[in-house]
């Protein structure tokens, strides 16, 4: 049983504000330790539940957020984004993905740092309905034959994920400042919450036979509503149909649709022929920067053991 622990960061225990997710800041350095703790609990849960191999896939921003030296040494680690064989790199053979620290979809009112794939959208729609990352990533992994069977994050993010992944086990994580700055009470909440991550991950792995790869029936119509028309114009180097701030495209399946989404936001037309060496350069740069040149952590008012 080969488990993939995929990590975002916004939905980690211990994180209550946006700056703690912004790569390169001192607050993010604190956020990394929160994320690493959550990821470790899920990794332990995977092994408790019977996994024989666990891959940690780090995905937030350019994808080097976990403190690798502090990760459970039994897990393999894969940071950054790829072009081939998938956006995530080599995920061949993974039986189940557990998605740690997710956040709500673009346009979700009152949510913590809501966005779908990238912050430039005010909404991303699939066949007319707003979608979250778990829909898009779930559908992409689903076409590779891989189910998502676990999510953790803010209540509304979990609720959105469970709409399309009803079989997934979940852990809800509070996002308000008081929860993490109230001394003994906060430490107890963290301890209980992280114990829940471990137990729920073990449960998900044991229940792998109930999990389903998410599949959307094609044809798929995507609509990306940018925050402004100017942004839509700037990003649409591929000349997809555009109506004001909304850019749209069609796809036969999610792999194709997701590829077009990535082209729209991350691969301007001029760079397409060099996208593989560019992705390699990005991974190398951020691996070194975030490993050896990280800032000192600023936990602000966080209650620390
Ligand atoms: Zn993220």
- 263 falls within a domain: no
Q: Which long-range contacts (CB under 8 A, 24 or more apart) does 185-191 make?
A: 186/302, 186/303, 187/303, 187/305, 190/13, 190/14
107: left (phi over 0), alpha (psi -120 to 50) or beta: left
Q: How many CB atoms lie within 10 A of CB 192?
A: 10
Q: How far is the CA of 247 from the centre of ligand 1 (A)?
A: 23
- 11 falls within a domain: yes
Q: How far is the CA of 301 from the centre of ligand 1 (A)?
A: 22
- 265 falls within a domain: no
Q: What is the pLDDT of residues 83-123, one digit of tens each?
A: 999 999 999 999 999 999 999 999 999 999 999 999 899 99
Q: How far is the CA of 114 from the centre of ligand 1 (A)?
A: 9
Q: Which two tokens stand for residue 233?
A: 């114009």
Q: CA 221, CA 231: separation in Å to the nearest integer?
A: 20
Q: What is the pLDDT of residues 143-195, one digit of tens each?
A: 999 999 999 999 999 999 999 999 999 999 999 999 999 999 999 999 999 99
Beta-sheet strand order (sheet of 129-130): 129-130, 121-126, 220-226, 246-251, 242-243
pTM: 0.96
Note down the domain range covering 45. 2-119+132-213
- 228 falls within a domain: no
Q: What are the E-state strand segments in 218-283?
A: 220-226, 242-243, 246-251
- 274 falls within a domain: no
Q: How far is the CA of 147 from the centre of ligand 1 (A)?
A: 20
- For the chain, the domain total comes to 1
CATH of the domain at 30: 3.40.50.10780
- 193 falls within a domain: yes
- 159 falls within a domain: yes
């Amino acid at each position: 049983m080969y488990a993939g622990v995929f990590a975002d960061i916004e939905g980690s225990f211990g994180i209550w504000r946006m700056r703690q997710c912004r790569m390169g800041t001192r607050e993010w350095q604190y956020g990394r330790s929160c994320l690493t703790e959550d990821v470790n609990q899920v990794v332990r849960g995977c092994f408790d539940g019977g996994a024989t191999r666990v891959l940690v896939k780090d995905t937030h921003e350019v994808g080097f957020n976990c403190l690798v030296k502090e990760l459970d040494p039994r897990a393999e680690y894969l940071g950054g984004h790829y072009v081939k064989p998938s956006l995530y790199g080599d995920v061949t053979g993974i039986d189940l993905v557990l998605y740690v620290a997710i956040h709500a979809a673009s346009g979700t009112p009152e949510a913590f740092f809501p966005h779908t794939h990238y912050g430039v959208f005010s909404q991303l729609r699939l066949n007319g309905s707003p979608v979250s990352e778990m829909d898009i990533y779930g559908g992409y992994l689903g076409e590779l034959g891989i189910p998502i069977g676990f999510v953790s994050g803010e209540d509304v993010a979990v609720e959105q994920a469970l709409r399309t992944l009803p079989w997934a086990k979940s852990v809800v994580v509070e996002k308000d400042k008081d929860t993490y700055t109230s001394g003994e009470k906060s430490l107890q909440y963290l301890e209980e919450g992280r114990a829940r991550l471990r137990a729920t991950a073990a449960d998900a792995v044991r229940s792998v036979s109930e999990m389903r790869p998410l599949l959307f029936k094609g044809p798929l119509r995507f609509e990306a509503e940018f925050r402004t028309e100017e942004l839509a114009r700037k990003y649409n180097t591929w000349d997809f149909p555009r109506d004001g701030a909304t850019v749209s495209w069609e796809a036969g399946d999610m792999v194709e649709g997701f590829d077009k989404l990535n082209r729209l936001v991350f691969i301007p037309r001029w760079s397409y022929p060099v996208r593989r060496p560019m992705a390699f350069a990005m991974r190398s740069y951020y691996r070194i920067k975030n490993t050896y040149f990280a800032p000192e952590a600023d936990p602000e008012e966080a209650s620390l053991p």
